[in-house]
Amino acid sequence: MTMTADPPHPQPAMYEGTLSLDDVAGTLTGQIPDWSNGAHSQFTGTRVGFDVRLDRRDGPPYTDFHAVFVGVVAPDALTMSGTFMNDPTAGPFANSATGPWVATRIQ
What's the pLDDT tens digit per position in 85-100?
999 999 888 889 898 8
Radius of gyration of the chain, Cα coordinates, nearest whole angstrom: 13
- pLDDT at position 36: 86
Query: Looking at residues 67-84, what average pLDDT do you find?
Result: 95
- Whole-model pTM: value is 0.88
Distance of CA 12 to the CA centre of its chain: 18
Across the chain, mean pLDDT equals 88
**For the chain, what are the domain ranges?**
2-104
20 SS3 class? strand
Position 102: which residue type? Answer: V
User: Does residue 103 surpass a pLDDT of 60?
Assistant: yes
Domain 2-104: which topology?
Lipocalin (2.40.128)
